Chain A
Amino acid sequence: MVQRLDYLKESPSQTAGPYVHIGTNPNWVEITGVWKEDLGLVLVGPETQGERILIEGIVTDGAGAPVRDALIEIWQADAEGLHNSPAETRGRFDPNFVGWARQPVAEADGSFRFETVRPGQVPYPDGRMQAPHITVWIVARGINTGLHTRLYFADEAEANAKDPLLLRIPEPARRETLVARRSERDGMPVFTFDIRIQGANETVFLDM
């Protein structure tokens, strides 16, 4: 008989349900006094290094309606491309930048908005550089397993053209769903990243 492999199976995912905020953002749903402040509300402080940017967008379903109960998390490297994580071995990350945030979308229109810094570049496993990007994760009622995607920046065309992940998406229109449009407001770059869960211009979601 062969030796048995000792692997376990990952716990299966279940939907976050309509009341995910009770667990993740209790103060936001008026469950106050359990803990002072919900986690992940603020990414940048006065000491954070790097170019300040805004990330904005809405989450819509297959009928084009806003997903009003969605919860969004983002995770990214600092301005130098280093992560605030014990698994980061390439250098010292910016101690004034956590790199993680989360937010319930606005109930009125499914919109979200993060103030952060433009991330630096992070290598792909084979050593090529990836274009600057932000990991985005969406859960909601009706989503059985959290949806994982990436935000890239429209004004990083040169780096985007060499990005190993974007190059794996053959159709230019599909690739575009991961590239946030740039505009400016009060001198600050604003990147618009609409997440379409299904239908026309459906966002590319990742299995990584």
Chain B
Amino acid sequence: MSNSYFQRDRDWHPPALTPTYKTSVLRSPRHALLSLPTTLSEETGPVFGHDILGPLDNDLIRNFAKDGAEAIGQRIVVYGRVLDETNRPVPGALVEFWQANAGGRYRHKKESYLAALDPNFGGCGRAITDAEGRYEFRTVKPGAYPWPNGVNDWRPAHIHFSVFGNAFAQRLITQMYFEGDPMIWQCPIVMTIPDRAAVERLVAGLDRNATIPMDSLAYKFDIVLRGRRSTLFENRPEGN
């Protein structure tokens, strides 16, 4: 069976060199990437069992909070599916997420933004997709924050995502934005993505049907990983 993964569409992803996002200038290779079909080294990947998960791993409101307290901020549920490019669910995918608190401040020793830390908010969580590729977590909506790039650049509210599919070829890190946020279109990091339609794939929709009444808003965010060929026709030299 020939079942290599589809080649990444490098015109859809951001290019390596994006001078308006200044840090990319010295951190972008100048040579062309070497393009090759995937081999078993890329078609396999680590698998994480549900046994690594603790009960609060997908609850950022409570997983760092002390003594029954809760994180401060707009309560939201983020949910969605991990699919591949052939529109099939990716079960067993480890999804890791991290974010700033409701004021736009990260809990990190190198963070210098003046917004206050929330003693009850750590900012990390993780989930593993079920048989239909579904994941969900509860958190507070992160705040926007300023960052040193231009003199007055701000990141729109966002949540970072790291996803392991079933193969290392599917490894992906990306960010989720929130429907209706005008700051999305002013962000140099968002704008590294050349195609507006591609950016829109990272904007989670507000889902009124999934809100928890008197409790939390809900946002839906589907993630698509690389898909793979599946053909019965072999393409191998004689004798193999």
Contact = CB atoms under 8 A, between A and B. Distances in A.
B111 to A, nearest CB: 7
A17 to B, nearest CB: 6
B42 A198 contact: no
Given A9-B85, A18-B110, A126-B240, A23 B122 contact: no
A12 interface: yes
Interface in B164-220: 166-169, 171-175, 189-190, 192-193, 198-199, 201-202
Contacts of A24: 96, 98, 162
Interface string B66-105: 0000000000000000011111000000001110000000
A12 B24 contact: no
Contacts of B33: 205-207
Interface in A118-162: 122-127, 130, 133, 135, 137, 139-147, 150
Given A11-B172, A13-B172, A207-B35, A144 B45 contact: no
A75 B227 contact: no
A45 to B, nearest CB: 16
B36 A29 contact: no
Nearest to B18: A144
A143 B162 contact: no
A16 B4 contact: no
A208 B124 contact: no
A12 B27 contact: no
A149 to B, nearest CB: 9
A100 interface: yes
Contacts of A6: 86-87
Interface of A: 6-24, 26, 29-31, 33-35, 39, 61-63, 65, 67, 69, 73, 75-77, 83-88, 98-100, 122-127, 130, 133, 135, 137, 139-147, 150, 164-165, 168-169, 174, 197-199, 202-208
9 contacts: A7-B86, A39-B52, A75-B46, A87-B45, A144-B192, A168-B34, A197-B28, A204-B34, A207-B34
